[in-house]
Amino acid sequence: MLRIRDLRTSVEGKEILKGIDLEVKAGEVHAVMGPNGSGKSTLAHVLAGRDGYQVTGGDVEFLGQDLLDLEVEERAHKGLFLAMQYPVELPGVNNLTFLRESLNAVRRARGEEEMDAVGFMKLVRRKADEVKLDHKLLKRSVNAGFSGGEKKRNEILQMAMLEPRLAILDETDSGLDIDALRTVADGVNMMRSPERALIVVTHYQRLLEYIEPDHLHVLAGGRIVHSGGKELAFELEERGYGWLLEENAA
Amino acid sequence: MSVPEQQMDELVRSEYKQGFITPIESDTLPPGLDEGVIRAISEKKGEPEWMLEKRLVAYRHWLTMPEPQWSSLHHPPIDFQSISYFSSPRPKDGPKNLDEVDPELLETYEKLGIPIDEQKALAGVAVDAVFDSVSVATTFRKPLAEAGVLFCSMSEAIREYPDLVRQYLGKVVPHKDNYFAALNSAVFSDGTFVYIPRGVRCPMELSTYFRINEAKTGQFERTLIVAEAGSHVSYLEGCTAPMRDENQLHAAVVELVALEDARIKYSTVQNWYPGDAQGRGGIYNFVTKRGDCRGDRSHISWTQVETGSAITWKYPSCILRGKDSVGEFYSVAVTKGRQQADTGTKMIHIGENTRSTIVSKGISAMQGSNAYRGLVRMTTGAENARNHTQCDSLLIGDRCSAHTYPYIEVKNPTATVEHEATTSKVGEDQLFYCRQRGLSEEDAVSMIINGFCKEVFKELPMEFAVEAQKLLAVSLEGAVG
Ligand SMILES: Nc1ncnc2c1ncn2[C@@H]1O[C@H](COP(=O)(O)OP(=O)(O)O)[C@@H](O)[C@H]1O
Ligand SMILES: [Mg+2]
């Protein structure tokens, strides 16, 4: 589904990603871990197509197409979803309106019919219950004044509504209490399907107690320095990142 | 991480869709202004002597006045002798019935989306169509007359209802009020007269559509709305002009009078030609609008969506004389390219328990400059009067500017005045977020801007709220960075 080959990316002239190779197949869940500043968010953003990230080498194939050639919204239409580390506030933009416009934009782009108001409301209520998002938040402005946990649940709700082929969750677990963490993990587990892949970026292995990844990668200094199965998470818990970094430097 | 400036300019160069010229013969006075010109205007309109006298008094006063310099606007001096003060499409010389309206004009209004053919018109909206200096048609007068509502051009009102006009004209905005009001009082051409009798709720929305067509002419509209005790009226004006390289002057005066328990809702969707991206051409819009809440519990509400004009200088105001009277001002002002707006309101609290609300939303893009200038005055008699002002600015890109100049004067210790102001930017992060969820950049901007303007749009009559949203979307197409 996703094949990243030797991806190099600079931000403001500084090379951040120094050659990433990663292959993700449909049905798989990959975890990406690594210390702060190692380039995890940069990788997520460059896959989503954000301005300001200059790809200086390598290529990315997504569902058989050159991903890096597509506009941000085209990537979204093709089924790429990014749950952001810092969800953005949109004051004055109603959360329901935003969800509906997004869903319909994606549906239109896929040649599907727009969803009518009744169908949409039913769906959104059900999904909001699944991610334990207070219905009151649906009527508020997108993320405006939401608590950290509410923002992350809102991201999960958007993901559940848009049903992406590939979802990248960038530290969706950061700053959450254990209840919120469980909800987010449940949301992710619900999304697991043979047609879908997930990349879960996390700073802590705590989340991996609830989401079992098929593969785990450690990103450090803009490179994937180690890949393994879920058992790697426990090793990291015991030994930290230090040994991997040293191993890599050596 | 902003889009390079040059790229942004290309994005922002959205079309002005009303910029066409109607090829029509016109009777146009040669440029220039003197007493002879004023006599000629008055004569063309078949005015009584007293009206001519009023004009001449205003003109002589205007000659003694300096042009105001206090606003934040910059423009080369206006050459008042290079403007033609009267232009009328030939050969019709006033609103008759629709059969007599030149087909070119009918087509013009149709193209603008304002059909003045009653069959095609928006249900429930009566239109007075003003083309250059004259009203060319006024629709639905019959059903309105049956309700006792007078709705006609100002020229006609001066001839047909001289007593009413004499009683009210120039009483809310006297000719000495300011430079442009004096000029307007001397040379005004046409506009709309509305009179709602006691206790009548006007059965339709009333509206005037102002169109400037002729080159090198100014438009000097004059509108008067009188709402007798217990009456209600909602009125809307729209404005457009062709794209021309020279600047054209629009200097209007609007007066509203609300008696006891009367309610006037006055909405404006202003889309005069704003000039091109280099600042060539566009309308200079110098407008004096004032409402007199004369009666107890009277209510005047101004709502404006200002997207056009090279320069906007406009402060729709309320004099809250009656006890418990209410004044409101809801405004969205957009400046892009080289547009400049200096707009706001004055709320003058005189009566007890008077209340006013001000909601101003300024949007600036490219090199647009947007200033809110508002006065809230609580006079000694304004016992327990209250004002709330919310003044928000939204910036798109790095070269635009927004300023707020609130003036607050409180002479009564029981009065309360609240002022809140915010400035925000349409961020690259917001646009990325929206696009990542599948929205196009245009839709994202329009969604963010509509969210920003929501409190004002909800004050517009429903039929026009949608129009205003679309207009804003067109006006700011791609104005991101
Ligand atoms: N907008 C930016 N401008 C400059 N440097 C940036 C920017 N975004 C990220 N960086 C730098 O890139 C590196 C990787 O950051 P990031 O991808 O956010 O790491 P992580 O998500 O793993 O914590 C850091 O050194 C950070 O300072
Ligand atoms: Mg990060």
Mean pLDDT across chain B, nearest whole number?
85
Q: Does residue A50 sit at the B interface (CB-CB below 8 Å)?
A: yes
For residue A105, give the nearest of B1, B439, B451 by CB distance: B439
| pLDDT for residue B22 is more than 80 | no
Residues of chain B found within 8 Å of residue A91, distances taken between Cβ atoms: 424, 451-452
Whole-angstrom Cα distance, residue A216 to residue A231?
A: 9
Confidence grade of residue B121 (pLDDT, cut at 50, 70, 90): low
β-strand B247-258 against A65-66: which pairing, if any? unpaired
Q: State the distance from the centre of ligand 1 to the C-alpha of A36, rounded, in angstroms.
A: 9
Asked if A94 and B451 come within 8 Å (Cβ–Cβ), the reply is: yes
Percent of chain A, pLDDT > 90? 72
Residues of A (168-197) whose Cβ lies below 8 Å from B: none
Q: Which of B184-198, B253-267, B293-307, B456-470 has the lowest mean pLDDT?
A: B456-470
**Residue bearing the bigger pLDDT, A107 or B245:** A107
Q: Does residue A106 sit at the B interface (CB-CB below 8 Å)?
A: yes
Q: Is B198 exposed, middle or buried (0-12, 13-18, 19+ CB in 10 A)?
A: middle
Token pair for B142: 């019959």
Please report the atom of ligand 1 found closest to the CA of residue A222. Answer: 14
Query: Number of structural domains, chain A?
Result: 1
For residue B436, give the nearest of A76, A94, A103 by CB distance: A76
Residues of chain B found within 8 Å of residue A109, distances taken between Cβ atoms: 438
| pLDDT for residue B223 is more than 70 | yes
Q: Which of A24-28, B105-109, B160-164, B476-480 has the lowest mean pLDDT?
A: B476-480
Q: Does residue A112 sit at the B interface (CB-CB below 8 Å)?
A: no
Angle, helices A178-191 vs A117-130, to 10°: value is 130
Owning domain of residue A80:
2-249
Q: Does residue A224 sit at the B interface (CB-CB below 8 Å)?
A: no
Which CATH number belongs to the domain containing residue A26 in this structure? 3.40.50.300
Tell me the C-alpha to C-alpha distance, in Å, between residue A161 and each of A59, A99, A176, B429: 29, 8, 22, 22
**Residue bearing the bigger pLDDT, A209 or B358:** B358
ipTM score here? Answer: 0.95
Contacts of A122 (CB under 8 A, 6+ apart): none
Asked if B451 and A162 come within 8 Å (Cβ–Cβ), the reply is: no
Q: pTM of the entire structure?
A: 0.81
Residues of B (433-452) whose Cβ lies below 8 Å from A: 433-441, 443, 447-448, 450-452
Percent of chain B, pLDDT > 70? 90
Tens digit of each residue's pLDDT (9 = 90 or more) over B234-283: 999 886 777 777 778 889 999 999 999 999 999 988 887 777 877 788 88
> Which residues does ligand 1 sit against, CB inside 6 Å?
A 11-12, 16, 34, 36-42
* Structure confidence at residue A248 (pLDDT): 59
Rounded-to-10 torsion of CA A36, A82, B444, B339: 20
**Residue bearing the bigger pLDDT, A29 or A232:** A29
* Structure confidence at residue A223 (pLDDT): 93
**Residue bearing the bigger pLDDT, B476 or B366:** B366
For A104, the closest chain B residue by CA position comes to: B438
Residues of B (201-240) whose Cβ lies below 8 Å from A: none
Q: Does residue A76 sit at the B interface (CB-CB below 8 Å)?
A: yes
Percent of chain B, pLDDT > 90? 45
For B229-368, strand residue ranges (E) read: 232-240, 247-258, 263-270, 282-293, 299-306, 311-314, 317-320, 326-335, 340-349, 355-365
**Residue bearing the bigger pLDDT, B247 or B220:** B220
Q: Does residue B429 sit at the A interface (CB-CB below 8 Å)?
A: yes
Q: State the distance from the centre of ligand 2 to the C-alpha of B301, rounded, in angstroms.
A: 49
Contacts of A43 (CB under 8 A, 6+ apart): A7, A9, A17, A20, A32, A201, A219
Tens digit of each residue's pLDDT (9 = 90 or more) over B383-419: 999 999 999 998 887 888 888 999 999 999 999 999 9
Angle, helices A117-130 vs A95-109, to 10°: value is 110
Whole-angstrom Cα distance, residue B109 to residue B97?
A: 16
Residues of chain B found within 8 Å of residue A47, distances taken between Cβ atoms: none
* Structure confidence at residue B443 (pLDDT): 85
* Structure confidence at residue B480 (pLDDT): 55
Query: Which ligand gives the minimal distance to the CA of A50?
Result: 1
Rounded-to-10 torsion of CA B241, B243, B248, B252: 20
Pairs across A and B, CB distance < 8 A: 80
| pLDDT for residue B1 is more than 50 | no
